Structure 1
Amino acid sequence: MMRNIAFALLIGGLVGIVGHVRKKGKIVKPRKTKKFIYLGFLEEVLMGALSAVLLVISSDVDSLYKVVYISILAGIGGDAVLEELNVFRTDQKTAIPEDRKKDA
């Protein structure tokens, strides 16, 4: 079981890095601003690895191929969760809906 968890961590983290590079075009390093800490690529790595481990543990797989397959799917799913969270982070008051942009 520990071998499955280790592979899930590794594969989920790698899928997280690939998703980050696909989205941003480069690897963005973590940085600290006055108000908060921006995790950069570590955010996607942690989300992909965590989702892969949780899915592998909950599905109780016995084959290494199933672990790899489930970890890749979970890493992609972790990327989708982060994209949904970015929707909530944007300021809704300043965003202009598409139908109002035509009138302006």
Structure 2
Amino acid sequence: MPIVMKKGRLGVLLSALCEPAAESRVLTVFFEATTTFGVRIRPVRRAELARRVATVTLADGAVRVKVGLLGDRVMSATPEHDDVAGLAERSGRSVRDVYEEAAAAARALRFEPADR
């Protein structure tokens, strides 16, 4: 990412996200490939939605959907592309129509609170 450094000089902000075990290898690459004298290191945590795979039944067939849950609330629903494309081809519908119908059906599903 382009940045302005001290004294108004142009620079580049270079970032890397890696496992702690790879830190020394990544630092070696940074120091070998750039002119930097220092690297800021910050541990990062990741929050994730609980995931489930559900099957929704549409008028023309079934589609698997990856569902992201926050407690018992559906926060994200992503139909499996291969299922969507196959159903679209078999039914003569567009991939977009099948995708949107499957996503809407998944958002309407009810789940028990997630274990996480």
TM-score by length of 2: 0.28
Structure whose residues are more often helix by fraction: 1
Higher Rg? 2
Question: Higher relative contact order at CA 8 Å, sep ≥6: structure 1 or structure 2?
Answer: 1
**How high is the TM-score relative to the length of structure 1?**
0.30
